[in-house]
């Protein structure tokens, strides 16, 4: 591999490290992201227990990824707003509120996916437990 390509490859690999560092820092500083991490563990556990289909796993994975992405973007927006507008400004507050609203909307949509995926098999299991 020519030296120029090797340098670019190393840069590309290093960018993954920066991305993981950003996720790690957000997990350490953002309580909402830690909540989403716990919810992710619960969703994966429920999916395994209920033995959901591959299609349902795909829906759950997309929902989890979308919520995490929304939360990370919200964190980035809040951080940037705090940098450029350390004092209160109505537009800064509006930007933060809209970003938080995006997370809320995505979390609600993921909740609907969770109900649609887990509702029927969970109901079946609960009825089976009740009748035994």
107 within domain boundaries: yes
In a domain, 3, yes or no: no
Average pLDDT estimate for 10-17: 85
In a domain, 24, yes or no: no
pLDDT confidence of residue 1: 56
pLDDT digits (tens, 9 = 90+) for 27-68: 999 999 999 999 999 999 999 999 999 999 999 999 999 999
Annotated binding site: 18, 30, 49-52, 71, 78, 96-97
The model's pLDDT over 106-120, given as tens digits with 9 standing for 90+, comes to 999 999 999 999 999
Q: Is residue 36 one of the residues assigned to a domain?
A: yes
Average pLDDT over the chain reads 93
pLDDT at 2: 62
Number of Cβ atoms within 10 Å of the Cβ of 115: 11
> How confident is the model at residue 3, as a pLDDT?
65
Question: Is residue 122, in this structure, part of any structural domain at all?
Answer: yes
Q: Based on the structure, what is the number of domains in the chain?
A: 1
CATH number at residue 116: 1.10.287.3610
Residue 87 scores a pLDDT above 60: yes
85 assigned to some structural domain? yes
As annotated, the binding site for a divalent metal cation includes 30, 78
Q: Verify whether residue 25 is a known catalytic residue.
A: no
In this structure, what DSSP letter does residue 87 have?
A: S
Helices (runs of H) and strands (runs of E) counted in the chain: 4, 0
Which among 71, 99, 106, 118 is annotated as catalytic?
71
Q: How far is it, in rounded angstroms, from Cα 40 to Cα 20?
A: 17
pLDDT at 7 over 70: yes
User: What tokens appear for 87 in the block?
Assistant: 């004092």
Q: Residues at the annotated binding site for ATP?
A: 18, 30, 78, 96-97
Domain span at 118: 31-131
In a domain, 12, yes or no: no
Q: Is residue 79 part of a domain?
A: yes
Higher per-residue pLDDT: 22 or 11: 22
């Amino acid at each position: 591999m020519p030296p120029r390509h090797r340098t670019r490859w190393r840069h590309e690999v290093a960018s993954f490290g920066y991305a993981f560092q950003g996720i790690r820092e957000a997990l350490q500083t953002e309580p909402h992201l830690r909540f989403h991490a716990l919810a992710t563990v619960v969703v994966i556990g429920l999916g395994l227990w209920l033995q959901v289909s591959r299609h349902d796993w795909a829906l759950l994975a997309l929902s989890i990824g979308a919520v995490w992405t929304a939360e990370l973007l919200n964190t980035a927006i809040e951080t940037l707003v705090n940098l450029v507008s350390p004092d209160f400004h109505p537009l800064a507050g509006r930007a933060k509120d809209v970003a938080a609203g995006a997370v809320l909307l995505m979390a609600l949509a993921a909740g609907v996916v969770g109900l649609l995926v887990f509702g029927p098999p969970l109901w079946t299991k609960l009825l089976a437990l009740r009748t035994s």
